[in-house]
Amino acid sequence: MARKKKNNIPPAAKDKAALYIRVSTVYQIDKDSLKVQERELINYTKLVLNMNEYEIFRDAGYSAKNTDRPDYQKMMQKLRTGEFSHLIVWKIDRISRNIIDFTEMFEELHRLDVTFISLAEQFDTSSIVGQALLKIILIFAELERHNAAERSKAVLLSKAEAGEYTGFRIPFGYRRDPKTKEYSVEEPEANIIRTIFNMFDQGITVYAIAKHLNSLPLAERIKKKWLVPAIERMLTNISYTGALRYNYRSYTSKKERVINDEKDLVLVENDHPAIISSELFERCQQRYTDRKNSVYHVRKPLFAELLTCTTHQIPLSWEKENARKFSSPATYWCPHCPKSNFTDKEVGSFIMNYLLNLLRACGQISPSTSPLALKRMLLRGKDFDEIEALANAEEIKRSLFGSGSSNGDVQDKQRKLKFEIQMKERELERMESLEANNSDKADDRMDHLKEAVKKLSAELQQLENSISTQSVPQVDYLKTCYDFYIQRNLYHLSDIDFSNCVKNIPFYDLKHFFQDVIKAIYVEGGEIKAIAFRTEQENGTPHQFKR
């Protein structure tokens, strides 16, 4: 065969062939199809073409619907370097069943001056007739691929309509016996499914459900971290009512998930045991649809439901810089009050640092604490420079006293113990330095001092452990606040940078924290006037600020 050399094309190596073999299923691999193809290609190369130089490229278990195959890509890269003069396959559909992919490959082989040969069809591309025949055969190969896909789809749809297993993923909460081909309910998982649907039916958000499930012991949540998308998929899965749903969704060529038309859906009622009732499922679907279509599905900013105007007793209006972002900065204002604008940063910095001061003050407040001392404890930091005092300091002290750990008497006892230990240790040091210590009387005195220091140190340690243990506030909202600050290493800071909190703490973690701790933030004329916390008492003591 005469071969023309083209300009700007790497010179192909003389008498070297690339042998490509492929099978698409494990069944074919088990039938030694790869070995059959390999043997035929090698014999043809040696006996017919008289070529002893060749390299074999194998793709086992890959379909020919596209060219996303490792050895195929490796072979094409080597062909582009001019290493081979021939590309030989056992059958044309081994290389591709897509006419577009094959045409692109063939045009590239033509530019590289590489001859393509197919053994089964007995033609090569060194002639015009061979090229035309090649394209005709490829059209029928692509048609066969589409027909095979349609036949497979028809078989699967028929099996689904009969309630038979079609290879889909078994839903969470079920098991399938491969021998009896029957479904059974996995109770530990089914209990989680029931919890999800019941909580959502009660109006609890998907995020709150995920947070609840992640707080359960590992054994109860099957060692799995729950995410919002996973729970949303469960809430829309009709399989939990005992129905079999097939062909509900499909994937595009770009692997994007799409919902199929309702006419293509296969739904078989009462196919397997139900975990939830159909009525509960329908209620959850309606609630899910309402939330999805509601205007309030737009992500509200951090303080949208907390800020209230004291003058007009209405929630503040708000606007986000970017409505699609969770943490987008927001501006709040009262539509009836001039100069009433707030930002997330202003409100967040004030609240976070006030809560920090509040936690630390709980361990220091005593009945003798003065309003001035309380103000110094709660209003430390630059965020509170303009506040003169707490308008209801005595009420705040009564609400906080007892929620902390220590009082003035405990602190005085601690100081006295330290002083006694220090005095006895000094006396012991003096006696050890004197020569008269050799007397029995001095030895007895030293033993007595050592024993006293030991007892006093043990008493001091016990007192300090008691203070440390009781330092966690016992009031509900303060306990929640303490846990949140400790988990995020905020408790030991002298001042909290709210901008860093927004960057490092997930949006909904921060939002739910504020909602769990704070009942309302009252503002007036661009200033925060009071904070009402969530307490067991219906009318808890608000913290009012005097400017």
Task: Write the pLDDT tens digit of every residue in 381-391.
Answer: 999 988 988 88
How far is Cα 473 from Cα 400, in angstroms, rounded to an integer? Answer: 9
pLDDT at 269: 77
Q: Where are the beta strands (DSSP E) in 174-268?
A: 174-176, 183-185, 244-246, 249-251, 257-259, 266-268
Q: What is the full DSSP assignment across 461-530?
A: HHHHHHHHHHTS--SHHHHHHHHHHHHTT-TT-SS--HHHHHHHS-HHHHHHHHHHHEEEEEEETTEEEE
Distance CA 508, CA 326 (A): 8
First to last CA, the chain: 99
Kindly write down the DSSP assignment for every residue of 269-312, as one continuous string.
Answer: TT-S--SS-HHHHHHHHHHHHHHHHSGGGS---TTTTTEEETTT
Q: What is the pLDDT of residue 7?
A: 42
Q: Which two tokens stand for residue 147?
A: 């027909």
Give me the pLDDT at residue 509, please: 86
C-alpha gyration radius of the chain: 39
Q: If you write DSSP's letter for every residue of 435-453 in order, what string do you get?
A: GGGGSHHHHHHHHHHHHHH
Summarised one tens digit per residue, pLDDT across range 176-185 is: 887 877 778 8
CA distance 331 to 346: 10
SS3 69: coil
Burial of 129 (0-12, 13-18, 19+ CB in 10 A): exposed
- For residue 317, the surrounding DSSP H or E stretch is strand 317-320
Inter-residue long-range contacts of 65-72, CB under 8 Å, 24+ positions, other chains counted = 65/97, 65/98, 65/145, 66/98, 66/101, 67/96, 67/101, 67/105, 69/22, 71/20, 72/20, 72/22
Task: Tell me what pLDDT residue 469 has.
Answer: 45
3-state secondary structure of 71: helix
358-379 confidence digits (pLDDT tens): 988 887 777 777 888 888 889 9
Tokens 């029928």 map to which residue?
Answer: 140
Residue from 467, 485, 496 nearest 407 by CA = 467
Low-confidence ranges of the chain (pLDDT < 70): 1-14, 25-32, 97-100, 122-127, 130-131, 134-135, 137-138, 140-142, 144-168, 218-223, 246-260, 262-267, 292-298, 323-327, 401-412, 434-439, 464-474, 538
Helix (H) or strand (E) holding 41: helix 33-43
- The rounded distance, in Å, linking the Cα atoms of 266 and 441 is 100
Identify the pLDDT of residue 55: 93
